[in-house]
Amino acid sequence: MEPIALEIRNLSVYYGNFLAIKDVNLSIPKNQITAIIGPSGVGKSTLLRALNRMNELVPGCRTEGEVIFDGMNIYDPRVDPVEVRRRIGMVFQKPNPFPKSIYENIAWGLRINGFQGTRAQMDEAVEQALRAAALWDEVKDKLHQSGLSLSGGQQQRLCIARVVALQPEVILLDEPASALDPIATLKIEELMRELKRDYTIVIVTHNMQQAARVSDYT
């Protein structure tokens, strides 16, 4: 039996009185790509955001049930949601780089999460993250240009690099290629296959072909 990264038990999410998802039970295998598929409006993104407590940022949202990660229920009151979100990173549907340089998009996230190394160590951490996101060769000569100057596909890979820099164990991707052209989409799909060597990947998609191409489980 494969090792499990996340165990979802009887998970229900409400927005006010509206029940968005009901009694979900699911195991997410480690170092595999699990795709959550289905048409718009069925609660795919709600389920994904429940896996790192992002739903708590939505006013009126309430979650019942358990998400077991590393032997603990992430909804236990003693668990720090900021630490959960560092270890279970999220990449959103629309690329959202910070209005900062490419370099600072990576470095800033590291700093606010307690990085205290030298400038040389920061340079190395930034390079490693950009390499992991298959972006280094395209941006290494323009690290001090704005992240917003990149193409849509590059911006999305920058957002992936930003998450990877924090060395999470799980990466959640919410329709990461839906706003991208076919070539940029293929690059994101190739990248996901690379990333699963080191990370557990959970992707939400309504594109059945994409799910078939990249996922180990649906």
For residue 189, what is the domain's CATH number? 3.40.50.300
Query: Taking a C-beta distance cutoff of 8 angstroms, is the pair 107, 126 a contact?
Result: yes
In degrees and rounded to multiples of 5, residue 177 shows phi and psi of -115, 5
pLDDT value for 1 = 72
For the segment 46-95, what is each residue's pLDDT rounded down to a tens digit?
A: 999 999 999 999 999 999 999 999 999 999 999 999 999 999 999 999 99
- Looking at the structure of the chain, the number of domains it has is 1
In degrees and rounded to multiples of 5, residue 9 shows phi and psi of -125, 115
| 38, pLDDT greater than 90 | no
Sheet of strand 170-174, all strands in order from the earlier edge strand to the far edge? 33-37, 200-205, 170-174, 88-91
Once rounded to an integer, what is the mean pLDDT over residues 142-161? 96
CA–CA distances in Å: residue 178 to residues 9, 42, 175, 184, 209: 29, 17, 6, 10, 13
Tokens of 84: 């959960």
Once rounded to an integer, what is the mean pLDDT over residues 5-32? 96
| 144, pLDDT greater than 90 | yes
For the segment 160-209, what is each residue's pLDDT rounded down to a tens digit?
A: 999 999 999 999 999 988 888 899 999 999 999 999 999 999 999 988 88
Containing structural domain, residue 27:
4-214
Nearest residue to 9 (alpha-carbon basis) of 27, 34, 29, 33: 27
Tokens of 149: 């100057």
Tokens of 188: 């994101």
Sheet of strand 18-29, all strands in order from the earlier edge strand to the far edge? 18-29, 4-15, 61-69, 72-73
The total of other beta-carbon atoms located within 10 Å of residue 195's CB is 21
Give the largest Cα separation in the chain, rounded. 52
171: CB partners within 8 A, 6+ apart:
88, 89, 90, 91, 160, 163, 164, 195, 199, 200, 201, 202
Beta bridge mates, 14: 19, 62
**Per-position DSSP letters for 48-107, written without gaps between them:** HHHTTTGGGGSTTEEEEEEEEETTEETTSTTS-HHHHHHHEEEE-SS----SSBHHHHHH
Tokens of 94: 């629309």
Please report which confidence band the pLDDT of residue 39 belongs to, taking 50, 70 and 90 as the band edges: confident
Unique residue bearing structure tokens 């489980």 = 217
